[in-house]
Each structure stands twice: as structure tokens, then as C-alpha cells.
Amino acid sequence: MKIQVAIILLEVVLIVLALAVYLIATIIQLFKINAGLDVVLPAVGEIVAKTAPINGVLDAIVKNLVTARDALEGLHLKKAGADAAGLVESVFPGEGANFLRRVGRSGKVVNVGTVYTRGVGILASLGRGAPIGAAHTKGPAVRDPKYSTTAASMLYPRPGGARSRPKSPVVGREVAHSPYEEALTPGERPRDATGRHVEAAPPAAPGGQADGGDRPPAAGPAPPPPPTANRITSAKGTRPWER
Amino acid sequence: MDPDIPLWLMVIVLAVVIPVLAGLLKGVLKAATSIPPKIDAIAGVAAAASKDLDAVVILLTTQNYISQITGSVLNYGGSLNVALPDY
């Protein structure tokens, strides 16, 4: 036998040996894969079976929610009118245009929150006569972004300007701070303490009391003379409740 | 021409083929070996997912609740429609 033939035979044997070793190992791995897939497939089948009714349930839920949304949006449009999209835009930025599209309207969405302050909107909704029509919805924003509070105050008429405030009264000098009400009949006492009418007082005697109108004419015993400073002999006074 | 030349050529060709064939078979075996661990992982995830989907049944209860809530909201809207003046 020639040496070349021997080498060829050896190489062929090596090739067959390599094929056998690797292919057998590959076959073993394929059996493992097959066994693994047998485990996976039932679990996947369970997932498919459990998720099958989800579509129907979610469709029903979405249908209910869409029905409620459409009804409420229709109510909102009916009650808020032209400001409906602006109100939606002020609460959910970017949804005003979607709201208009859903209700079949068109036009520019004016964010109510940039035109009116929150207080003005609330007052308007409560029917307090807020000047909600002070500016047209297609015009520039009424509220000044830099001086928003002043701009909101300017919506209401106030003498002296938006920032004017009434002056503080001086306590004790003005009638408004008197603890007593102003008498309707000053200097006269038409009724006594029991509510009975008091007859007109006689004209005051010369040198008499100046306040004659507030005392009944048929008075009883004369009151004790007022104590003077040089007659004080006791700490007690001379009035009945001090005796 | 020397009659041994074809034999030597055969020897050389086989000598080149053997490492190439061994490399290819090794690659196939490596790919096949890498699949079973991934299948085991998928089996674990699938079992856990199947267990998590047991809660899907609660969706039926949710559907009933949403249906009731929708009815209440619509009734409330009807009351508001009567109570509030139109624009």
C-alpha cells in the first residue's frame, strides 16, 4: 500500500469520526429542545385560553365609557355653549381640539384659564354677574400674564382704580364707630321703660334742667342731691345699690 | 506525469476539508446547546404568566361595576340637565 492511500484512509476515518461525534451531540441537544417545548406549549395554551375573553370584556367596558363620555360632553356643550372647548382646554391642555372634533364642531379653542381667572369663572358659573363678556373670546386675553391679579380686578368697576382701598376710619371720632345708634327723635323720649307713651313735657322752667324732655313730668320724690367732692365721708356712694 | 500526483492532491484536499468540517459541526453543536436553557426560561415565564392571568376573571366584575357607574353618571347628567339652565 502506498503511503498516500494510507493517509487518505486516515483522513476519511477522521472525517467520519468527527461527523459522528458532533452529530450525535447535536441530536442529543435536539431531544432536550423537544422536551422543553413539550413543557412550554401547555403553558402557552393556557395563556391563550385565559386571554381569549379579554377582548370582549374590554370592548364592552370601552363602549360603556364612550357612551358616558359622549353623554357628558353633550351635556357640557349644552350648558357651557361656546366656552365648552375652552373649559376643557383649561382643565386638560390639548384636549379642547379633540373635544371639538368629537362633538362635531370646529373653530379655535380659547383656553378659558388664560382669559378669566379662576375666581371670575367660578363667580360666572354661580351667576354672580361677573363680566364674563368683558372681552370677546376671539380677542386678546383679558388677563395680563405679568399682573394677572390687577388685570382680573380691572374686570370689576371700582371707584379710584383697581388698587384703591377705602381709608381706615379713626376709632372714636367718627359716627360709624359710635357704640350707640343714632336717635330718630333726638332729645325726646316718646315712650318710657315699660313702653307706655309719655306725655309731652312742660316747657322747661327758667334756670331749670336743660334736658327736660327726657324726664316724666309727674316724677316721684326728688332724687338725692349729687354728692360733692368735699362731702365725701365714705367710700360707698349714695346711689341705692351702693348703700 | 507522475501517477502519484492525484493521490497527493486527494490527501491535501482531505487535509483542508477536515478542519473546515469540524468547525462547522462545532458551530451547529454550539447553537443547539444554547437553545435548551432559553426554553427552560420561557417555560418558567409562561407558567408565571399563566398564573398571573388568573386575575382576568375579575374583569367581568369590573365590567359590571363600570356598567353600573355609567348608569349612575348618566342619571346624574340627566339631573344636571334639568337643574342647570342651558347656555
pLDDT tens, position by position, A189-237:
777 878 888 776 555 555 444 444 444 444 445 555 555 544 445 556 6
The model carries a pTM of 0.47
Quote the minimal CA–CA distance from B65 to chain A in Å: 10
> In chain A, pLDDT over 70 holds for what percent of residues?
54
With contacts defined as CB-CB under 8 Å, which chain A residues touch B74?
67-68, 71
Distance (Å, whole) CA A62 – CA A67: 8
Chain B contact for A16, CB < 8 A? no
CB–CB of A148/A117 below 8 Å?
A: yes
**Residue among B10, B17, B28 minimizing CB distance to A26:** B28
| Residue numbers of A between 24 and 63 with CB closer than 8 Å to B | 25-26, 29-30, 32-33, 36-37, 39-40, 43-44, 46-47, 50-51, 53-54, 57-58, 60-61
Instruction: Return the amino acid letter for A125.
Output: S
Taking CA atoms, what residue in B is nearest to A40?
B43
CB–CB of A3/B3 below 8 Å?
A: no
ipTM above 0.95, yes or no: no
Nearest to residue A21, comparing CAs of B65, B72, B18? B18
User: A135-161, pLDDT tens digit by residue?
Assistant: 555 555 555 556 666 666 665 666 666
Q: How many CB atoms lie within 10 A of CB A122?
A: 12
DSSP A98-164: HHHHHTT--S----HHHHS-HHHHHHHHTTS---TTSS-TTS--SS-SSSHHHHHHTTS--TT-TT-
Q: At what angle do helices B58-83 and A54-80 cross, to 10 degrees?
A: 10
Structure confidence at residue A203 (pLDDT)? 55
3-state secondary structure of A208: coil
Q: Which residue has the higher pLDDT, A176 or A83?
A: A83
**Residue among B47, B73, B87 minimizing CB distance to A68:** B73
Point out which residues pair with A197 in neighbouring strands: A191
